[in-house]
Every structure is written in C-alpha cells, then in structure tokens.
Structure 1
Amino acid sequence: MNEDTIRAFFIGCVKSSDVALETLIADPKVDLRGVLTLRGSKFNADFVNIAGRAEAARVPVHYAEELDKTALPDLLREADVQVMFVIGWSKLISQDVLDVPAIGTVGFHPAELPANRGRHPLIWALALDLKQTSSTFFLMDEGADSGPILSQVPLAISSDDDAASLYKKVLNAVPGQLRTIVTDIVSGTLDPQPQDETKATYWRKRGPADGLIDWRMPASSIRNLVRALARPYSGAEFQLGENHVKLWRCAEFDGEVPKNAEPGKVLDAGPDGPVIKAGIGAVRLIETSDMPSLNEGNYL
C-alpha cells in the first residue's frame, strides 16, 4: 500500500474484542470507520460492551440486533472500508460481507491452527489437558477458522492454568500481534500462509451436559474440567439431591484413597474442603457455590 493508514471496520463483543479494539484505536495507522457489536449476550460468558470505548473515540457503533444482516455489505462500502477485523464473534461472516474489504478480513482464533478449529478453544484445551495452544490471526474465508495464517504465537499451558489465566495469556499476546499485522498491511509486506488442510481438526460445540461432573471420572479429568470452566465461564457442576452445585476450584487429593470406596462418596468433610472419591483417586473441593454442608460418608 502507498497510504499511511488503513480504513478499517471492527466486529466483536467479548473481552478479546475489547483488547483488540483498544489496540486498533490507539494505532495511528488505523482509521476506524465503524464497529458492529451486541447490546448484550446470554451466549457469551465473557461478553463485554465495547460500544463505550468506540464512542469515546468517536467511532460509529452499530448493533447486530438492530441491523438487517443484508445491510452490512452496503454499510462497509459506504464507509469505504479496506480491511475488517472480526475478533470475538461466534457467528460466521457471510461471503457477500467478506467480499467487500479489498485487503480482506482479519479473524482470530486462540488455538494452534490448522488444528483445533471450531468452538470453545480455550475450554477444550484445558479440559483435554493440552500443554500448548496459540493465539492465531488469519485472513477469513468462507470456512470456519480455515483461512491463511497472518500471525501465530505459541502459548504454554501450565498445570496450574485455568480459564482465567489462560485467557489472560491470550489477551497479553493480542496487542503485539495486531500492531504487527497493521504495520505489515500498511507497508505492503503482509504474508498470509495457507493452512495445511491435512492437519485440520475441529472441536464441536459444547452443551450443558459437557459441564456436568461424573464422579466415575478420574480425579485428573474432574480437575481439568473444573479449571476449563472456571470464571469467566459458567463453571463445572455436579448434582446434589435436587440441586446443581457449581465447582469453581478443586485439587487432586494426594492422601491415601480407599480402593473399596465408591465414586461420589465423601471421604472427608474437614475444614480444608470435602474430599470426594473419584473413579480413580479423589478430589478435594476448594470453592463451590450453593453447596449445603456435607458429612463423611455422604454420597454425591
């Protein structure tokens, strides 16, 4: 490009969107022509109202709830948009929208593309006890997370990470990646790298049943599920009588576990938190919501 700035449009509605929008607003090489977001979301546990940040920077704000989806291409054309950034948006962008920005649409997925495309990448990474993920930006195409990669930063996942700490690692990577992408666009040195489709894998959408603890699971799997669904997400749950109890933090019990105790049995109800027998090993409950008191010998 021969210009010093790029005319851009932004779409997003979660915490990563807010960090990305803040970065783009602060970059003098970005002429932000508009933002599309949501007024609220029951689906996104990490929803952030980014309208205030945009309005403070005098960037026009549009709400998806009020915008006819067929009107977005014309909106982009009227704003003379060259590049669009879609960060923290769970809906696919239609091809007629992707066709408008001449440079393309920059998408974001916190996973090691081409592996692990699809839904809930941070939750799946923790629940499956992966040791590494990535913060990945790519040029969007008609597929899901399948376009050429623009920037990919590996992120180590420690055994102590939960959803909040891993999310923070992603957010820390985003600003530097975005600034580099913008610089490369302006300088004409952007170098998209096609993904290797032979290595592509997809994660499915999770449902409420995926967050339920089955005490027949190994203790390690229960802990991984709990840290995967920790705040800002909805929390893992287990059933206790007629109630569903949220389990926000737990630890694998390192004491002696009787082999003849059934899964779900309360082995200890001391002040450090109740210890529950699992399919293999046991789990100490550290932080819960809405849980009545337990006694040794009770069953969950």
Structure 2
Amino acid sequence: MRVVFIGTGDFGVPSLEAIALDGRYTIPGVITQADRPFGRQKELLPSPIKRAALKLHLWVFQPENINSAGSIQQIQFLKPDIIVVCDYGQILSKEVLGIPSIGILNIHGSLLPKYRGASPIQAAIKNMDKETGVTVIWMDEGIDTGDILTSEKLLIRSNDTAESLHNRLAELGARLIIQSLEAIKAGKAPRIPQDHALASYARKIKKEEALIDWTKDKQEIDAMVRAFNPWPVAYTTLKIGEEKKILKIYKVIISHRARGNPGEVVRIDKHGVLVAAGRAGGLLLREVQLEGRKKMHAADFARGARLAIGTILGQKDED
C-alpha cells in the first residue's frame, strides 16, 4: 500500500516514523510546509516532519499552496492509495481529497466530535477535562467532520502540560494509525458518522488569551498555566519601579492556604512565591520568566527582583 504523509508539526512525527519503520507500506513522498524563518536572525528552519523524513531518507515536497495545479499534479504522480494527514496547517481542497484510490486519513488529538479545530490539547487541559484521546477520521471537506475510523481515550494527569499531553497523544496517534492501516488492508475499516450535534471547537490560540485573571479560582488558573505551557505561556504583569513588566509563569502548585486579595503576593520563601487567587486559596509560583530575562525558579526571581510581600500582580493602571 502506497502511503503519502502530509504534516508539519511535532505531533505527526511518531506516526510518520511508525509507518516508515513498519515495513509493510511504501512512502513515495512526504508533504510539509515550506521552511520558515525563526528567531532574531530569521534563519530558515525545516519543519519537524521534514527533519524526520530526511532522517528516514524519504522524498520531501514543500508546496506553498498544496491546492495549486502544480501541487495536485505532483501528488497524483505519487499514486497514493492512502494519504495520512496530521497537523499540517493547510486545508485540503476537494481535488486533493479525491487523489488517493482509497481515501485520506486524519489523526486528530481529541475525541471527536469534541474539540474540532486547531488547539484541542490546550482546550482539554484548560477546561479541566478528566480525559481526552486521539481520533482517526476519513477526511472530508469540513474541518474535522469526517467519519470516524477509530479512537481511543487517554486520561489527563493532574500535572499534565500541553507539552506532556501532546507527547503522549502523539505516541497514541502513531499506534492508532498503524491499526487503521491494518484495518484498511484487511477490508475491516469502519466509517462511523460523527454526531455533529455534539461538536465543539477549539480555535487557534491568541497570545492575549494567556493573560491571567487573578480573580478566577485557583484551579482555573492552574489549568490555564498548564494548558499554555510551552506556548503562548500564561503571564501576568508586575510593576518594577515605574515600569510595568511581563512575568511569564511556567509552573505553579495549587495552595489552599493563601489569604489575600486576588493577585497579592502573600508569602516568599525557598519554595517560591505564593499569590492569592479568587475565592479561597491561591497558587505557589515555582517557575517564572521576567521580560528580558531567563526562565528561573520563582524564589531566585523574587530575590533578584527584590519582590515584596503585598505586591499586587496584574494590577491595572487605574488601580
């Protein structure tokens, strides 16, 4: 079976590797996004999928627009039986969807129809769900609306960040895509329609969504910090002298003992910086990064910044 792989981000790397190393499938080509500028030097960097494909000695195609006439012609030349798509970043046209002789599979990091869209992993953590999973669907023209081939649940741990959950789901996705290809070869691959009435969407995250509202409950803020680690990273503001600085927060521990106004620093010790939240309790800041500085333990930050008890984080200008 000839399998063309289409993807860009880290999420698809275990799946590409699993298909390539399985030995029962031919990968005539891997399609990924063009190299993008990164960092202050604007150095062109390949996508994680391109790096993985080159290590596996696979041919790589990087169209600016996968739906262009030239791209369609190139994909047709590869004569795929199946196309596997994972975390690509472009919507496939009807013409592309019709190229493979069997169909196109998509690996999605949620239990569809829940959390269709760009950020299902972050949404599951932020909404304090107990479980999530991976779904393999037969792609259609909608966004994550195709029939389900298979899915499997995964429990969300209390300390999961978007990064740790992403990595576990990516490994699960690799196992499910191999199972899916096996089912197709055996002629036993189901097509289970999604219940569209149960659909929800996890749209692309914007940086400003990561601003912490200290009046919220401690569990909500903890979930937000974990959901936005490693990107865009939850943050608050802090006045140092006459300047207002951004303080990114990477790791916190829920505390039931904090007593103070929302955002108030109520304790500083070797364990970190304890900040009061809305209702009862607060959060012990453990790992932070002040604007223009390196990431560090919150206790070291507090000492270097001469942070005082009673400081209000996230204080508005008019307060």
Whether the TM-score (by the shorter chain) exceeds 0.5 is yes
Residues 29, 186 of structure 1: 8 Å contact kept: no
SS at match of 1:136: strand
Q: Deviations over 1:112-169 (max 9, x none)?
A: 1112211210101101100111111101100011001111010111222222221222
Contact map agreement 2:215 2:278 (CA 8 A) in 1? yes
Identity of aligned residues (%): 27
1:40 aligns with 2:36: yes
Residue 2 (structure 2) aligns with: 7
* Aligned pairs (5 A) from 1:215-226: 215-226=214-225
Query: Would you say the 8 A contact 2:67–2:95 is kept in 1?
Result: no
> Which structure 1 segments of 5+ residues have no match?
1-5
The runs of at least 4 consecutive aligned structure 1 residues that moved more than 4 Å come to none
Q: CA deviation at 1:205?
A: 2.6
Distance 1:67 1:185, change over 3 A: closer
CA contact (8 A) 1:245 1:288 kept: yes
Counterpart of 2:229 in structure 1: which amino acid? A
* Aligned position for 1:248: 250
C-alpha separation between the residues in 1 aligned to 2:157 and 2:167? 13
Do the aligned partners of 2:67 and 2:92 also contact (CA within 8 Å) in 1?
Answer: no
- Normalised to the residue count of structure 1, the TM-score between the two structures is 0.89
Query: How far did residue 104 of structure 1 move?
Result: 0.9
What amino acid is the match of 1:243?
K
Cα pair 2:12 2:170 within 8 Å, conserved: no
Alpha-carbon separation, structure 2, partners of 1:221 and 1:157: 15
RMSD (Å) for aligned C-alpha atoms: 1.9
Aligned residues: 287
Indicate how the Cα distance of structure 1 residues 66 and 136 shifts in structure 2: closer, same or farther if over 3 A, else same. Answer: closer
For residue 48 of structure 1, report the CA deviation from its aligned partner: 4.6
Distance 1:72 1:252, change over 3 A: same
Counterpart residue number, 1:282? 282
Greater shift, 164-173 or 264-273, is seen at: 164-173
**What is residue 316 of structure 2 aligned with on the other side?**
none
Q: Which residue in 2 is equivalent to 1:169? A: 168
CA 293–221 in structure 1, closer or farther in 2 if over 3 Å, else same: farther
* Residue 73 of structure 1: aligned partner: 72
Give the superposition deviation at 1:41. 7.1
1:284 aligned partner, one-letter code = L
Query: Counterpart of 1:249 in structure 2: which amino acid?
Result: K
- Alpha-carbon separation, structure 2, partners of 1:285 and 1:29: 49
Gaps of 5+ in 2: 39-45, 291-300, 314-319
Residue of structure 2 equivalent to 1:23: 18
Query: Is the 1:83–1:104 Cα contact (8 Å) retained in structure 2?
Result: yes
Is the contact made by 2:134 and 2:151 (CA closer than 8 Å) also made in structure 1?
Answer: yes
Displacement, 1:66?
8.0
Identify which of structures 1 and 2 has the higher relative contact order when contacts are C-alpha pairs closer than 8 Å and 6+ apart. 1
* 8 Å CA contact 2:107, 2:177 repeated in 1: no
Alignment match, 2:196: 197
Q: Matched residues in 2 for 1:209 and 1:64: separation?
A: 31
Q: Please state whether the residue corresponding to 1:246 is helix, strand or coil.
A: strand
Letter matched to residue 101 of structure 1 = P
